[in-house]
Amino acid sequence: MAAAATKLSSDLVIVIKTGVDKKGKEVLKKATLGNLDLKAADQDVFDVVKAVEKLLNYPVNEIQKADHSVIVNA
């Protein structure tokens, strides 16, 4: 039998570059927003984050989508 995954939820993770430390390494902070619409298209998520970035004091370094699924033996 083949295993099958059912997506339960998705979280949006926005990684923000807040500066540089004394050694020249980037300082990154993460903001996680839960309950992302399971049907949200990747392009739509990207567009929303880019629009929100204009309101932030720091640039967005990376946009992540964390999917949470349950895998069962089908």
pLDDT of 74 > 90? The answer is no
Distance CA 28, CA 4 (A): 35
| Long-range interactions of 44-48: CB distance < 8 A, separation 24+ | 45/12
Question: Tell me: the pLDDT tens digits for 38-70?
Answer: 999 999 999 999 999 999 999 999 999 999 999
- CA distances 32 to 8, 38, 55, 59, 71, Å, are 17, 16, 17, 16, 24
Question: Tell me: the pLDDT tens digits for 4-40?
Answer: 999 999 999 999 999 999 999 999 999 999 999 999 9
Residue with tokens 């390494």: 25
pTM of the model: 0.84
Residue with tokens 């895998």: 71
